[in-house]
Amino acid sequence: MSEKYLFTWDNIPTEQEKNIEEENKLLNYLKDDCNINWIEGAKIRRSEDDKTICIHKGDKSVEMVIDENGEKAILDVGYGTTYDLKIKRANSEMRIYWRSAIFECNPEKPKLISGMGLGYTQEPVAYSR
């Protein structure tokens, strides 16, 4: 499995803060790798208890929550689709990584096929006769 650094959890702003660089890293990941097209210009906020990051725009939202063991962040992109993101600690910071075989097998970004979910691509099927 390959790992891709996404962002540092602690650098995502709470209600009164702003960190454009970290916000853009997270938004770009959601747009480019998760194919969330509405995400540009969305608002991002980390909860005061540091356990949740909420990204929203209008009536659409994405949520990321630290699991109770503090070992992974669970990304809920809606429609029953969730992803486990790896947490690595470095100098008291929580760095978030995407771990996926998709990046090893397919260097193009994952594609969303209606009803199939992220990562499924249409491949020709060969049947033996």
Instruction: Indicate whether this model's pTM tops 0.75.
Output: no
pLDDT digits (tens, 9 = 90+) for 32-75: 888 888 998 898 989 888 899 999 999 999 999 999 988 899 99
Average pLDDT, integer, range 81-106 = 76
pLDDT at 112 over 90: no
How far is Cα 53 from Cα 106, in angstroms, rounded to an integer? Answer: 28
Q: Domain coordinates of the chain in residue numbers?
A: 2-108
What average pLDDT score do residues 97-107 get? Answer: 53
Percentage of the chain lying above the pLDDT 70 cut = 72
Question: Are 121 and 109 a contacting pair, CB within 8 Å?
Answer: no
